[in-house]
Amino acid sequence: MTATLDQIKQLRDLGAATVYEAQGAKGALDNGVKPIDPTVRMAGPALTVDARPADNLILHYAVLKAKPGDVLVVDAKGFMEAGPWGDVLTIQAMKLGIAGLVINGCVRDANLIIDLGFPVFCRGLSIKGTGKNQPGKVNVPIAIGDVLIQPGDIIVGDRDGLVVVAQGDVESAIASSLAREEKEAKQRKAIDEGATTAELLNLTDTLKRFGLV
């Protein structure tokens, strides 16, 4: 079942950490993949890309295949000595309505990308160029770290990190996230009224067992 625009917006607004916890602490990419601009928020269906290290031919093709609202999710094999994405691809991606980029590798032209407001999550920055000679694959399952990403899975990203929501889990992820937000709002209110986190999380007996109270 394809996620609606409203569902995608809900997931973006709920945030990566809430969605990750609410769906059973699964789907989080490792913390090596970070936003180059921590103020961005992003959500959209994954257009997956299996790329060769230090070659960006397939990225130019993937941009042409993307639909408005898609997030390009690129497995560049964690290669850190080339920047296969930069200002030109960013400008084209924005022109086509692409929602953002996740790359298991590096990018360059970071200042311009930040100025343009295009969400990019990557392992780092590299000024080194790439070839345009090696084919890759688009819309195939890829793995980044221990997370398998299928084409069309929803990617949610913000300052805290990235989480993948399987297409079939979107409704339940939203419902669980909203319930978690309601629970945490009650906890914040209780703390404001004098409760402690130890009480709210039923940690008192555990603390006593370790001689901490």
**167-202 pLDDT per residue, tens:** 999 999 999 999 999 999 999 999 999 999 999 999
Same domain for 115 and 135: yes
Coil, helix or strand at residue 55: strand
Same domain for 192 and 153: no
Residue with tokens 């990235």: 162
Same domain for 180 and 155: no
Residue with tokens 């989080």: 28
**125-180 pLDDT per residue, tens:** 999 999 999 899 999 999 999 999 999 999 999 999 999 999 999 999 999 999 99
CB 32 within 8 A of CB 64: no
Which tokens is 87 given?
């200002």
Give me the pLDDT at residue 213, please: 75
Rounded to an integer, what distance in angstroms lies between the CA atom of residue 50 and that of residue 181?
35
Number of domains in the chain: 2
Same domain for 113 and 149: yes
- Parent domain of 59: 5-167
Same domain for 37 and 128: yes
Same domain for 123 and 205: no
Strand partners for 154: 45, 165
Strands (E), the chain: 34-35, 42-50, 71-79, 100-107, 120-122, 124-125, 137-138, 142-144, 147-149, 154-158, 161-165
